[in-house]
Structure 1
Amino acid sequence: MGGLGFRNVDDFNTAFLAKQLWRLIEVPDSLFARVFKGRYYRNSNPMDPIRSYSPSYGWRSIVSARSLVNKGLIKRVGSGDTISIWNDPWVPAQIPRPALSNGPFKDPTLCLTQFMDPQTNTWHRDRLFEHFNPVDVALI
C-alpha cells in the first residue's frame, strides 16, 4: 500500500536496547560497559537478574530487553562440561532451546561430555538416540 515508511517505534526501541545489551556482553572493555558494570553488575554479567538500588532509567530500559536477547542466545558446546542438557539452550533449532527427552525420565546427572568422543571429536550417536528425541538428534 506504500505509506510513509514509518516503523513501529516500540519495536525499534526494543531492538535498539537489545543491541546495547548485546554490546555490554560482547565488548566488556568499552567505556560504556565499564560504567554500567561498575554500577550495576560488578561481580556477574548483564544477563543475570540483579536487583540494584535506585537504577537509572537507561539501565532499567536496557534490562527490559533481556527477554529479547535471551530468545537468540545459544550455548556453544565446546567441551560440553558447563552445559545443563535439560535447561540450557544448546540445541541449534530455529529458536535455540534445551534438548527434548526421548521418554518421560530425564536423568539430571547426565553430562554432555558423556555423549562425545574426545579422541575423534564426534558424537556417540547410539547414546544420543537413547536419550534424546530423534528430531533433536538430527539437529545435534
Structure 2
Amino acid sequence: MGFKKLREFNLALLAKQGWRLMVCPDSLVSRVLKAKYFPSTNFLEAALGNNPSYIWRSFLAGKEILREGMAKRLGDGNDTLIWGVPWLADKANPTLHTHVFEQLKEAKVAGLLSEAGTWDVDILRDIFEPDDIPRILATPVSPDFRDEWF
C-alpha cells in the first residue's frame, strides 16, 4: 500500500474515532461505549477499566494523539474545567502554567468571567501566576454560545 509508518497511521485513525465519540455523542457506538466505559466522565478522562474490549483498548491508544491536536473554543465557559484542558488561545502552549489549587480543581472557566461575559481581572490576579494573566485575557469568549472542541 505504500504506508511507511503503519503504526503511526493506525494511531491517527484511532484518534479520529475518538474524535467522533466526542463530536457525535448521540451515535449508537458513542452511547454504547459511554455507557460501558465512561458513564460519568468524557472520553478524554476515560480510563481503561475492567475487562476492556479490543475496540476500547484501541480507542484509548489514540486518545493521547487526539489530546495533543485539539483545543477548546470558549463560549460561556460552563463546560470547560480551568485546569487539565487546553483552552487558552496560545497555540504554542494552550495550557496554564499556574499549578492547580485543590479547592479549585473542579472549577469551570465560567467562574472567571464577570456578569457581562468578559474576563474578571481581579479574580485572575488572585488565582493565576502573572505570566498566565495576559494569555487568559488574549483568549476570546463568546458568552452566547456553548464551549466546543476543535
Structures share fold, TM-score greater than 0.5: yes
SS of aligned partner of 2:43: coil
Contact 1:80/1:113 (CA < 8 Å) preserved in 2? yes
> Could you state the TM-score of these two structures normalised by the residue count of structure 2?
0.63
Q: What is the aligned counterpart of 1:27 among 24, 29, 35? A: 24
Question: 1:63 Cα shift?
Answer: 1.0
Contact 1:79/1:113 (CA < 8 Å) preserved in 2? yes
Contact 1:77/1:90 (CA < 8 Å) preserved in 2? yes
Q: What is the aligned counterpart of 1:41 among 34, 38, 41? A: 38
Task: Determine the C-alpha separation between the residues in 2 that align with 1:59 and 1:90.
Answer: 26
Question: 1:68 Cα shift?
Answer: 0.9
> Could you state the TM-score of these two structures normalised by the residue count of structure 1?
0.66
Count of aligned pairs between the two proteins: 132
Identical counterparts, % of pairs: 31
Q: What is the aligned counterpart of 1:58 among 55, 62, 69? A: 55
Change (3 A) 1:31 1:87: closer
Corresponding residue for 1:93?
90
Question: 1:23 Cα shift?
Answer: 0.9
CA RMSD of aligned residues (A): 3.4
Structure (1 or 2) with the larger CA radius of gyration:
1
Change (3 A) 1:32 1:85: closer
Change (3 A) 1:129 1:44: closer
- 1:8-67 CA-partner distances (Å, limit 9, x unpaired): 2111101100011111121122233234334433444333114121x2222211111111
Question: 1:115 Cα shift?
Answer: 4.1
Q: Which has the higher contact order (CA 8 A, sep 6+)?
A: 2
